[in-house]
Amino acid sequence: MTLAAATDLAAATNEHLASISNTLIYSSMAVYTLAFFAYIAEWLFGSRSKVARTAAALTADTKATRGPAVTVQQAGGTAVLERPKVVVRSAAGARDVPDGPGAHGGDEQGDLYGRIAVSLTVLAFLVELAGVVARAASVERAPWGNMYEFNITFSTVAVAVYLALLALRKNVRWMGLFLVTTVLLDLGLAVTVLYTASDQLVPALHSYWLYIHVSTAIFCGAVFYVGAVATILYLFKDSYENKLQTGGKPGSFATSVLERLPASASLDKFAYRVNAAVFPLWTFTIIAGAIWAGDAWGRYWNWDPKETWSFITWVAYACYLHARATAGWKGRKAAYLAMIAFGCWLFNYYGVNIFVTGKHSYAGV
């Protein structure tokens, strides 16, 4: 076989693998859609259950804080006057509220749909992972050379983190609907807006640091995303608990959804733990990127937009972790910082790559 014929055969093989990758990615989207409807069914059937655990706990807690009744003797009778109800907003995590039963709400049929949803999520994950591997084979390198490849890999890793937490028997199935919805949006954006045909890397990316730096960046982003979902739900659940504690009556939809989530203290603790656990790895990601920059461009730090926003993200998460460990900044204040930090990460992920010109301008879109 001549060299030209061998080259043509290799090109045809790579093109075929790229086609297989695209088919697998679309197939995973179809399975994720089925999982989405199964998660919806879990929440719908779960709404039939009368859980009311949070309301009962907060009501009992309020009664306990009233103190003993004031008894006044009156001419042959007894008049019992209750002390005025005093409501004091608890510090973050101080309320003794049990975790909700989960999206299924204790309903057997809802639980069945939830288990089906998880099974479909596992299947979709395996199909998407096969699509990422096929894309890597088609380009004969790690599939992280442009935004399309980064997106499909990021969503795969995010689902892997969720499934790993489930395998470790963590109470995170309530996250399934939010995760699958985001993954579908992410993949939809990837295949419609960010899609880039298979191509070789720009010269600056030809380095073993690609496997070290980019892989850790993707993993950190996936864990930060999980922490952000927990933080958003914490803010909603905390408002719900506060409203109940002060005698308010949330709407029926809010009650049906939020009643089944973990307590706000549990969500707050979960978000803090995942962000704190991955923060050292994000620090390593920035250091690895600086070393790679030194090899590729001769300078460890150039204040390139991507470098700058990576550092801004690091500072934002450092502020959050410091605030979360400080008594006066626990709870909602720290949660707002966490959302600002994740917003910085999102801008670094999408905004810098697409809208800002710099040395990292190889988004492929």
pLDDT of residue 252: 79
Q: Among 19-23, 89-93, 304-308, where is mean pLDDT lowest?
A: 89-93
Q: What is the pTM of this model?
A: 0.82
Q: CA–CA separation, 176 vs 163, rounded Å?
A: 9
Task: Decide: 350 and 186 in contact? Cβ < 8 Å.
Answer: no
Name the nearest CA neighbour of 235 among 140, 335, 310: 335
pLDDT of residue 47: 76
pLDDT of residue 45: 87
Q: CA–CA separation, 25 vs 326, rounded Å?
A: 44
Q: Among 31-45, 73-87, 315-329, where is mean pLDDT lowest?
A: 73-87
pLDDT of residue 70: 37
Please state, as a whole number, how many other Cβ atoms lie within 10 Å of the Cβ of residue 291. Answer: 15
In this prediction, what percent of the chain has a pLDDT beyond 70? 78
Mapped onto helix, strand or coil, the DSSP state of residue 228 is helix
User: What average pLDDT does the chain have?
Assistant: 81
Q: Which two tokens stand for residue 200?
A: 């070789």
Name the nearest CA neighbour of 261 among 53, 61, 103: 103
pLDDT digit string, tens, across residues 173-209: 999 999 999 999 999 999 998 888 766 666 666 778 8
Residue 88 banded pLDDT, cuts 50, 70, 90: very low
> Would you give the end-to-end CA distance of the chain in angstroms?
37
Task: Decide: 334 and 320 in contact? Cβ < 8 Å.
Answer: yes
Q: Is 252 exposed, middle or buried (0-12, 13-18, 19+ CB in 10 A)?
A: exposed
DSSP per residue, 245-302: HTT----HHHHHHHTTSPPHHHHHHHHHHHHHHHHHHHHHHHHHHHHHHHHHHS-S--
Sign of CA dihedral 244, 246, 250, 254: negative
Name the nearest CA neighbour of 260 among 158, 107, 108, 113: 107
Q: Among 47-56, 143-152, 248-257, 309-318, where is mean pLDDT lowest?
A: 47-56
pLDDT digit string, tens, across residues 13-61: 778 888 899 999 999 999 999 999 999 999 988 876 655 555 566 655 5
Give helix 332-346 / helix 215-245 axis angle, nearest 10°. Answer: 150
Task: Decide: 333 and 117 in contact? Cβ < 8 Å.
Answer: no
